[in-house]
């Protein structure tokens, strides 16, 4: 299946790069690569998190391929506050536990930006770049420049 991620075009940033930063599903120091099942979900996620400031930067849409049957976090396993903003420590604890356990290199999780009825067809993907299978299971397909402005330059 193909997955997508948006990255800001900065010197040294690569398509499958990662850092120690935190997010909804990971605490600082537990690196994740966040991806989405649909390109539109990528844009919705980024715009809802960063707001209109995204139009001031240059972006690349990364397409990756993952040929594996991926596990998913069931809705029944989500804490009541999983979709709150700012995100809670409870979701970071779930992601941290999953990463440390190393049962899989990727995990499907719902997006709090769309109705849960769409999950798991439309979802986010947590990728653990430190998992031993990462290098063999995640294949870079292409990188495309994208713009949030009406007249891209």
Token couple for 70: 């991926």
Residue ranges per structural domain of the chain: 2-13+20-146
Place of tokens 């599903």: 25
Please state whether beta strands 59-66 and 138-146 pair in parallel, antiparallel, or not at all (unpaired). Answer: antiparallel
Instruction: Provide the token pair at 2.
Output: 């193909």
pLDDT < 50 regions, the chain: none
Collapsing DSSP to helix, strand or coil, 112 comes out as: coil
Residue 134: per-residue pLDDT = 97
pLDDT at 8: 94
């Amino acid at each position: 299946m193909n997955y997508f991620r948006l990255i800001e075009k900065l010197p040294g940033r690569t398509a499958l790069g990662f850092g120690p930063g935190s997010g909804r599903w990971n605490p600082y120091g537990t690196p994740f690569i966040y991806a989405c099942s649909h390109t539109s979900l990528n844009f919705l996620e980024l715009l809802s998190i960063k707001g209109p400031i995204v139009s001031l930067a240059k972006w690349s849409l990364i397409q990756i391929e993952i040929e594996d049957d991926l596990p998913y976090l069931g809705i029944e396993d989500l804490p009541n506050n999983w979709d709150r903003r700012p995100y809670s420590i409870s979701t970071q604890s779930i992601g941290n536990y999953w990463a440390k356990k190393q049962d899989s290199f990727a995990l499907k999780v719902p997006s709090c930006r769309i109705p849960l009825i769409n999950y798991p067809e439309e979802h986010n993907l947590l990728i653990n770049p430190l998992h031993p299978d990462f290098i063999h299971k995640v294949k870079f397909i292409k990188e495309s420049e994208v713009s949030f402005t009406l007249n891209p330059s």
